[in-house]
């Protein structure tokens, strides 16, 4: 299975936003620090005018198509901040979901 890198980051942002919203009135909250994601990506370049380079996050062994691409392992470190409070790290909490570590 391959997912566009931008979609993965968008989903992570949505999940963190939801966790922050759930924790707004909680007695115990946590400061959200840097978020590290280690990914295996495949790079795909289109040919022709206006060609784009696309980055796909892949799950090894799940997509036979990836075998024909060169894959790279990258680590992204994101430091989330709220737009209205760029000098403060946001607070986050919420209930634990089954399987969450």
Q: For residue 98, what pLDDT is reported?
A: 66
Residue 67 lies in a domain: yes
Domain count, the chain: 1
Split the chain (101 residues) into runs of 10 and give each run's mean pLDDT. Answer: 82 89 83 86 77 75 54 83 84 64 50
Q: What is the pTM of this model?
A: 0.62
Using the 8-state DSSP alphabet, how is residue 101 labeled?
A: -
Q: For residue 88, what pLDDT is reported?
A: 84
Residue 98 lies in a domain: no
Residue 97 lies in a domain: no
Residue 59 lies in a domain: yes
d(CA 45, CA 9): 20
Q: For residue 81, what pLDDT is reported?
A: 86
Residue 88 lies in a domain: yes
3-state secondary structure the chain: CEEEHHHHHHHHHHHHHHHHHHCCCCCCCEECCCEEEEEEEEEEECCCCCCCEEEEEECCCCCHHHHHCCEEEEEEEECCCECCECCCCCEECCCCCCCCC
User: Residue 61: which domain range?
Assistant: 2-92
């Amino acid at each position: 299975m391959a997912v566009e890198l931008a979609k993965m980051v968008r989903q992570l942002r949505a999940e963190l936003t939801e966790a922050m919203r759930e924790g707004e009135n909680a007695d115990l909250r946590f400061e959200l620090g840097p978020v590290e994601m280690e990914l295996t990506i495949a790079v795909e370049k289109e040919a022709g005018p206006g060609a784009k380079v696309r980055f796909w996050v892949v799950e090894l062994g799940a997509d036979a198509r990836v075998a024909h691409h060169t894959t790279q392992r990258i680590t992204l470190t994101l430091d989330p901040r709220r737009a209205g409070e760029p000098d403060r790290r946001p607070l986050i909490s919420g209930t634990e979901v089954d399987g969450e570590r």
